[in-house]
Amino acid sequence: MAEARLTLPGLISRKHAGERIVMLTCYDALFARLLDQAGVDILLVGDSLNQVLAGRASTLSATLDQMIYHAAAVRRGTDRLPVVVDLPFLTYQVSVEDAIRNAGRVMAETDCDGVKLEGGRVMAPVVKALADRGIPVIGHLGLTPQSVNALGGYRVQGRDEAVAGDLLADAIALEEAGASAIVLELIPQQLARQITSRLGIPTIGIGAGVHCDGQVLVLHDMLGLNEGFAPKFLKLYAEMGKLTREAVGKFAAEVRAGTYPDQARSFD
């Protein structure tokens, strides 16, 4: 008998039980299967795929069709794990009606478990509208990549007391609007601790210190595939960029030497 799918409400119960939550980005079925087998709790189909897979400079040009394609692939890789999908830039900021329509399309076409969007109090009406219609939402505060130009680049947010107060107010507003969890990116660990203790929903940190209820990283970053990207918060758990080069180099050498394929890998 197949194991029951985890749920976003189930993650809330994990917070109250003091159990840490493990989230990773995922963009395809193959990695979804591996991450499920490895014991990850939740998969995020992040608009970071626009940078990691498509080679773009930011997430801003990610499209709804792009997100739906990859989210559907991730869902085919796991029946058990919750899959949350980033709503890309300008698919939810223009109007509540647009947000409902686009988030509904994501849910219907991918069989995902919820969507993620960036922004604080200004986005609370959108979060409430989606939650009221049965669409679970994860918020995102701190360094919000879709606003990177307005924030002046990829840098820590909330070191200023006034900004820290705004972020706390934003987190409270998102919870009151019905958010299921909130990602906290690049904020001081003391502020993350304050927000986490104030909320009844989980916080998932990335560059926000140890006091969050869970942690998320971009899969390709923590596997060492995105070489040259080395922010302070990132820990490499493998060097797959190096291993890939070595493996492909061996393959190329054997092809050129005529030793691959050998007789054992040929057909009569």
Show me where the domains of the chain are located: 8-237, 240-268
Largest CA distance in the chain: 75
- Which range (13-17, 63-67, 209-213) has the least confidence? 13-17
Q: What percent of the chain has pLDDT over 90?
A: 94
H or E element that contains 138:
strand 137-142
pLDDT the model gives residue 4:
65
Q: Which residues are catalytic?
A: 185
Asked if pLDDT for residue 10 goes beyond 90, the answer is no
Calpha distance 185→204 (Å, rounded): 8
Tell me, yes or no, if the pTM score tops 0.85: yes
User: Residue 244: left (phi > 0), alpha (psi -120 to 50), or beta?
Assistant: alpha
Peptide bond into 261 cis (omega under 30): yes
From 224, 140, 150, 229, select the one nearest 186 (Cα to Cα).
Answer: 140
Q: Reduced to 3 states, what is the DSSP secondary structure of residue 180? A: coil
Instruction: Report DSSP state, residue 87.
Output: P
Q: What is the CA 70 to chain-centroid distance, rounded? A: 13
The total of other beta-carbon atoms located within 10 Å of residue 76's CB is 15
Instruction: Tell whether the model's pLDDT for residue 235 goes beyond 90.
Output: yes
User: What mean pLDDT is reported for the chain?
Assistant: 96
Residue 240: both structure tokens together:
């797959």
Q: What are phi and psi of 23, to 5 degrees?
A: -125, 140
Closest CA to 202 of 44, 8, 46: 8
Place of tokens 């660990």: 189
The half-sphere exposure of 205 on its side-chain side, counting CA atoms within 13 A, is: 23
pLDDT at 1 over 50: no
In this prediction, residue 109 has a pLDDT band, given cuts at 50, 70 and 90, of: very high
Each residue's pLDDT tens digit, 151-202 = 989 999 999 999 999 999 999 999 999 999 999 999 999 999 999 999 999 9
Write the CATH number of the domain with boundaries 8-237: 3.20.20.60
Query: Confidence band (pLDDT; 50, 70, 90) for 19?
Result: very high
